[in-house]
Amino acid sequence: MGRWRDGRGTLLVHGGGGGVTAVPLEIAASIRARTRGLLGRDGLDGAILLSPANGIHTFRMRMAIDVAYLDRRLKVIAVRTMRPGRLGLPRLRSRHVLEAEAGAMAGWGVEAGARVSVNVSVEEGRGG
């Protein structure tokens, strides 16, 4: 897998029954975008992918969030809900972190063992 660029795309959650759920996605691949993340926001339409990342914090956040840790093949290692002002411990095999408003991931089927994929907008593309 190559590296993504900052931009937008679609998160595809592959369900156990063969169904796929599409979720609007922001991609934060640069250091600046990953550092900014969800800070200062009151909400989020969809999810944000921090890549590369293996841990996060919720200091200065205004809302509780769901956090999914993904391995290099985009398999979900763990999902946690974090309130503002918390430090999430890094996950050993995590290469990417997915964030969304608290409660959203359960509705999409994002749980430990699930697989996700990312479709990026053509104009955004992937970097090398």
Rounded CA-CA distance 7/124 in Å is: 6
Could you tell me the two tokens for 95? Answer: 């290469």
pLDDT of 126 higher than 80: no
Q: What is the pLDDT of residues 104-125, one digit of tens each?
A: 999 999 999 999 999 997 554 4
Q: Render pLDDT for 47-95 as a digit per residue (tens, 0 to 9).
A: 999 999 988 888 888 899 999 999 999 999 999 999 998 888 888 899 9
Amino acid at 123: E
Name 112's Cβ contacts closer than 8 Å, sequence gap at least 6.
76, 77, 78, 79
What pTM was computed for the model? 0.88
Position 128 scores a pLDDT of 39
CA separation for the pair 38, 118 (Å, rounded): 19
CA distance 46 to 11: 9
